[in-house]
């Protein structure tokens, strides 16, 4: 399993999820993306996107003003 990083801080809805979708498309199923976002809507958007797209939200945490999401690509 390889972990990739996506810094989506400063981006507002729907850009964090759109960038996550684009970056996940290039990964192999089972690889992970660590997303850093500070958009308050991401708390709802990222889990919803994962459920709808068949990805697995492994972990959510907070780091300062940002939320960190660890997403495993489904497939």
Active-site option among 4, 7, 11, 13: 13
Q: Is there a contact between 20 and 45 (Cβ–Cβ < 8 Å)?
A: no
32 given a catalytic annotation: no
Contacts of 56 (CB under 8 A, 6+ apart): 50, 71, 72, 74
Give catalytic residues, as residue numbers. Answer: 13
């Amino acid at each position: 399993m390889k972990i990739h990083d996506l810094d989506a801080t400063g981006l507002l809805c729907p850009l964090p999820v759109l960038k996550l979708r684009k970056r996940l498309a290039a990964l192999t199923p089972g690889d992970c993306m660590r997303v850093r976002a500070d958009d308050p809507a991401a708390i709802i958007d990222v889990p919803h996107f994962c459920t709808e797209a068949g990805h697995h939200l492994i972990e959510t945490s907070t780091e300062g003003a940002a939320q960190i999401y660890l997403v495993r690509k489904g497939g």
